Each structure stands twice: as structure tokens, then as C-alpha cells.
A and B are shown apart, each in its own frame.
Chain A
Amino acid sequence: MNAQNPRRPYLRPMVGWWRRNPFFVEYMVHEATALFVAAYAAVLLVGLLRLAQGEAAWNGFLDALRTPLSIGFHVVLLVAIAYHCWTWFVIMPKTLPPILVGGRRLTPAAITGGGLAVAALASLALFGIVWGMAR
């Protein structure tokens, strides 16, 4: 940009701009969780295709899930998506319209805390359903 400008004005370089400020580092990290959400969706999509291909293909997929590489990868996915969950509800007070409860505006802490509590309940419910179905 501006390469043709004969006055050659100083342009502050933008390379690595987000590394100069901890606020933007956090922003880039929480944006990057999308890569891990996409990766997990891809894992599930491969699983669906293997399931559609029959029992041998599905068992191969299960064997792949049991490899140390896959377990380690899923630990990374777990950390990244848990961080997505945390930041999602930390940002939520800024993305929601003002909510009035009893004439008072709901505080950001209440929205974040409420969201995290609902996430914990939803996760427990999911685990309970899977546990019940697997017995």
C-alpha cells in the first residue's frame, strides 16, 4: 500500500501488531480457537464417513482414536475448546443487548457466570445421557 506515493510517508509496520499488546494477544488466541473447533468438526465428519462405510471402516476409526497421537490431539482440542467456552461467555455481556431484571441492568459478571453455569449443566446433562446410554 502507498508504494507509489512519491512523498514516501512513514507507515507504521503492521506485521506482528497483535503481539505488542496483551489485550490483542488474548484476542488472537480466542479467535484462533476456531481452528480447533474446525479440526474437531473434521474429526467428527471423518467418523461419519467411516460409519457410513460399514463396520470394518468404523472399527478402523476407533483404532485411530485410541492411538497416543489422537489422545494427545484431543487433549489439545479439549483445552482450546474449553478456552473458547470461557471467552465466549466472558465476551457475551458485550454482545447482548441490555437485559433488565427488576428495573436493573443485568451485570456483566451475572451474564458471564450464568452462561458458564448453563454450560456446566449442559455438559453434565450430555455426560449423563451418554453414561445412561452406554450402560
Chain B
Amino acid sequence: MKRDLKRSNAPIFWSLFGAGGMLAALIGPMLVFITGIAVPLGFVLPEDAMSYPRMLAFAQHWIGKGFLFVVVALFLWHAAHRIFHSLHDIGIHAGAGAKFACYGTAMLGTLVAAWALLAIGF
């Protein structure tokens, strides 16, 4: 056995894909319903459920901050991995450039989310 076998980075991306897919499966539909349908329409939930003071307090609390970061980052990494591996299926060669574009977008989104959550303060 060669001692300097290159370790694959696939498990990292696969774990992020799995974690994001699981989170999206468990609470994704309900999150979309709450933030995109129920609260904007004032249907079932009050319209001021996402008012500025409430959302600011939520995003400033460490639990809310962590939740928002995990949801945005894992959803992005899940989607990036799945889209990257579907490129081959639609006839696009999934080379280093495609990998950089997919995972790079997820990384950029993760960093922007982290920056926004830090800018919101504690």
C-alpha cells in the first residue's frame, strides 16, 4: 500500500448533502409555509409574527442565529452537491470547473450568511 494515498474529500460533501437533505425533509415544507405563505398572508399565524423587532431579537439570540445559519448553509450545500452530481445526467461534463461553481456558490452563500448574522449583532 502506498502510504501517501490521497484522502478523498467526498465524505465531507456527502455529509453536508445528507445533513441538508435531512433538515430540508424534516422541516423544509413547514418553513416555506410559515415564512412564505402563512405569515405574509396573516393566515393561521399573525402577520406581525415576522415583524422587525421579533426577527431582530430572534436573529440576535444564539439559538435563532444558529438555526438560521444551519438552515441556510445546509440547504445550500445539499442543493450544490445534488446539482453538481446531476450535471452529468443532463450531458454537462462535471469537471473541476463545475465542482468549483457548485460548491463555491454554497461556500459563498455560507460566508454571506455568517457575515449577515454577525452584522445583525448579539
Binding site for B on A (CB under 8 A): 14-15, 18, 28, 31-32, 34-35, 37-38, 40-45, 47-49, 51-52, 55, 58-59, 62, 65-66, 70-71, 73-75, 77-78, 81-82, 84-85, 88-89, 115, 118-119, 122-123, 126-127, 130-131, 133-135
Contacts and interface: CB of A to CB of B under 8 A. Distances in A.
17 contacts: A37-B79, A41-B72, A41-B75, A44-B71, A48-B116, A49-B112, A51-B52, A51-B59, A52-B120, A65-B40, A66-B41, A71-B37, A77-B36, A78-B37, A130-B49, A134-B45, A135-B46
A99 B108 CA distance: 38
B36 A71 contact: yes
Given A45-B113, A48-B59, A65-B36, 7 more contacts: A18-B89, A37-B24, A48-B116, A48-B120, A78-B29, A78-B32, A127-B30
Contacts of B25: 84-85, 88-89, 115, 119
A127 B34 contact: yes
B76 interface: yes
Interface residues of B, number: 52
A70 B82 CA distance: 25
B40 A62 contact: yes
Contacts, number: 158
A49 B28 contact: no
Contacts of A28: 86, 89
Interface string B7-44: 00000000000001110111111111111110111000
Nearest to B43: A71
B56 interface: yes
A1 B28 CA distance: 41
